[in-house]
Amino acid sequence: MIGIAGAAMLFSGCSRSFLDADPLSFYEPNATFTSEAGIRSVLAIADRQLKRYWSDGDHNEMLPLMSEYTFSDLMVPAATDKTEMLDNVNLMLTPNSDQSTLLNLNRQSTIWFMWQQQHESIRNANTVISYIDNVKTLDEATKNKYKGMAYFHRAFRYYNLVFQFGDIPLQTKLLDTPKLNFKSTKRDAILEMIKEDMEFAVEWVPEQKNMAEIGAPNKGGCRMLLSKIYLALGEYSKAKEQLDIIIDGGSYSLMMNNFGTFINNYECPEAWPIKENVIWDLHRPENALIAANTETIMGLPNRGAAAESFLKNHTMRCLYPFYFNAAVKTPDNKQALMNIKRNAKGYDVNYDYMRATGRGIATIRPSDYYQYKVWEVNGKVDATDLRHSVEHGNWLPMEAFKCNNSASAYFGKNLQLYSDSGALLCNDTIRRWYAVPHYIWKLGDPEREANVSGSDGHRGASDGGNGDYVLYRLAEAYLLRAEAKFYLNPSDPTIADDVNIIRERAKCTEMYKAGQVTIGDIMDERARELFWEEFRNVELKRVSLCLARSGRPDEWGNTYKLDTFDKQEGTDANGGSYWYQRVIHSGMYNSGKTIVVNATKTNINYIMGKHNMYWPIPEKEIKANYRGQIHQNFGYTGYDANVPEFDNWKDAHADMDIVD
């Protein structure tokens, strides 16, 4: 048991190089991992690591998924209190932008986490794959089940890595000693390997049969991942086949009506009430994994009695506007929103926005596109879309707050961005004035809520709390199938059906017309439906590859070539990948405008380069691999097109045994 615990502690960290020797070698793995319990312990660690993308931040300021959104069309950095805020990505992101010190409060991206933690997870998966055949007490079917689960974990991480970092070193087995002569393996070769692995997993990993199995890979989750890999490799019919099974197989159905436990904004519904609706119910952690929720395909438990074993999700701290200070004013020059305390004289619960909506610091913020334009369909804002509904409490714009400063003549009146004379009433509109999807980010925290008089407790659940996650659900399967149909035949009238069923559930009025759905329409619906759920950066880059393979045009009529779409530089509007076009057309990058705010960083210039499609391989990893050559990505210092790479994953697998 000491060996397992020691290994678990090493596996859960993310400070080691992927080049290091197998940590299990120091804990007699041949003894520890010859039992089913040993194998299950490593898989449990891998399951837990999936939750870290959403929740494992530091100092309540960073959430790992943040870089997936700031490198997309949907969010941008917003920490204007830091001079090194990563606004000009084209200039500032380099192979030496290593921010891997866990407590580095100046860190401005989570790229470090995506590199390090995902390689930790790959090592865990490789542990199971390497040792499962040594467990003599298991029959072949059970061994294959565990092997398939490990393949899922390894494939999930490599699927992310190849779209985040491009061509990377491939690890397929454990090492007894450090390997210092890695070569990179090409993206498509890695995709081919994880395709084979996931085909095996789909065959052997069972369906989830009861609630006790939640959190482990199941057959439905394996089908979802395999369908994405098929799409990436241009095998669109195979992707559609997997999605047909998920959608039409009878195991899952969309939640179309209110269900589960209705929670009226947790601690303080008086200040921001919720009108019960299916979108709110669907996004409550309390409802995510219940048996009545037939939409969840694969979920991740992260709440319950043993709170210390779960990971905090500080969405309300990291993602909400920083509005509780004098930077947001009333027209009579008073602070508009006060941090009122429950233990203070004259306390009025109807104005306690801190408990109702948190105490955000806006490390990142939604783009203008996500706040406004994306909600337009057929040229008009869909007024009945529940995902954008202020009336139901799901959507929270700044203008919906009422001044709670009794010293102001505007007490009880809705906030204004401008005075009647046109004066700006917020001195930092990047960090302090934007709308949020309250139904996604709001969480409860009973422990803090119970502390009325403590130094921080008067604010209630102001940071966030524990909450179950959904990794895959049926809504995404519909949108993936619409995408597969688009590559096969963009005029297919049923594409609209797959998108519109999601809109119908959200009570939308505007629907897409048969035979007229573009890839942009599908990606817009993904943005509306899967915000802060999908890996947005990864999915945009996968679609970029799909468009280049298929030759299908994007929503602007652009077509892409497979050999050039990810090998371009510059910040002009022409060329690049589909990812780049979405970032500059729909996001807030490369507008040519300097945003001036009254903050530590006064001039904000959001600039993204075409070469930033892939993140740079960390320079420290390249230097540590001094007996070999790791391929640096195009556009970054150290790039060399002549650096040899494996174009067949089996060659990379064989090379794992060559350590010198």
pLDDT in tens, 471-482: 999 999 999 999
Which helix (H) or strand (E) segment is 496 a member of?
A: helix 494-505
Cα(620)–Cα(632) distance, rounded to whole angstroms?
A: 12
Predicted TM-score (pTM) of this structure: 0.94
CB of 136 within 8 A of CB of 38?
A: no
pLDDT tens digits, one per residue of 220-257: 999 999 999 999 999 999 999 999 999 999 999 999 99
pLDDT at 598: 95
Burial of 175 (0-12, 13-18, 19+ CB in 10 A): middle
CB 435 within 8 A of CB 401: no
Strands (DSSP E) contained in 228-383 are: 296-300, 364-366, 376-377, 380-381
CB-count burial class (<10 Å; 0-12, 13-18, 19+) for 581: buried
Quick one: 171 exposed, middle or buried, by C-beta within 10 A (0-12, 13-18, 19+)? buried
Q: What backbone phi and psi angles, to 5 degrees, belong to 86?
A: -80, 70
Q: Which residue has the tokens 């049969």?
A: 209
What pLDDT does residue 72 have? 98
* DSSP 3-state of 235: coil
Paired tokens of 643: 């650096």
Q: Is 104 exposed, middle or buried (0-12, 13-18, 19+ CB in 10 A)?
A: middle
Spatial distance between the Cα atoms of 178 and 28, rounded to a whole number of angstroms: 17
Assign 396 to helix, strand or coil: strand
| Cross-strand partners of 411 | none
Strand partners, 168: 185
Q: Give the H/E segment covering residue 191.
A: helix 187-204
| Neighbouring residues of 44: CB distance < 8 A, sequence distance ≥ 6 | none
Task: Residue 544: name the closest of 616, 646, 612 by CA.
Answer: 612
Q: Where are the domains of the chain?
A: 267-273+314-465
As given in the structure block, the two tokens for residue 30 are 């041949």
- Name the β-bridge partners of 629: 183
Q: Which of 400, 467, 472 lies closest to 433 in space, CA to CA? A: 400
Contact 359, 459 (CB under 8 A): yes
d(CA 629, CA 183): 6
For residue 267, give the nearest of 330, 358, 379, 362 by alpha carbon. 358
Q: What integer pLDDT is reported at residue 18 of this predicted model?
A: 63
Contact 262, 271 (CB under 8 A): no
Show the tokens assigned to 233: 């490799």
Structure tokens at 142: 């059970």
Asked whether the beta carbons of 60 and 318 are under 8 A apart, the reply is yes
Radius of gyration of the chain (CA): 25
Helix (H, G, I), strand (E, B), or coil: what is residue 520?
Answer: helix
d(CA 401, CA 340): 14
CB atoms within 10 A of CB 65: 26
Report pLDDT for 305. Answer: 59
Distance CA 610, CA 29 (A): 45
Nearest 5°: phi and psi at 50? -60, -35
What local confidence, expressed as pLDDT, does residue 611 receive?
98
Mapped onto helix, strand or coil, the DSSP state of residue 438 is: helix
The structure tokens 């529940």 sit at 386
List of residues 6+ apart from 120 with CB closer than 8 A = 11, 12, 13, 14, 16, 49
In this structure, the number of other CB atoms found within 10 A of the CB of residue 332 comes to 12
Q: Torsion over CA of 463, 466, 468 and 471, rounded to 10 degrees? A: 60
Distance separating alpha carbons of residues 658 and 150, to the nearest angstrom: 24
> Shortest CA distance to 27 belongs to which of 131, 152, 102, 109?
131
Instruction: Tell me which residues of the chain have a pLDDT lower than 50.
Output: 1-15, 22-27, 455, 457
Quote the tokens at residue 228.
């994405």
pLDDT value at position 180? Answer: 92
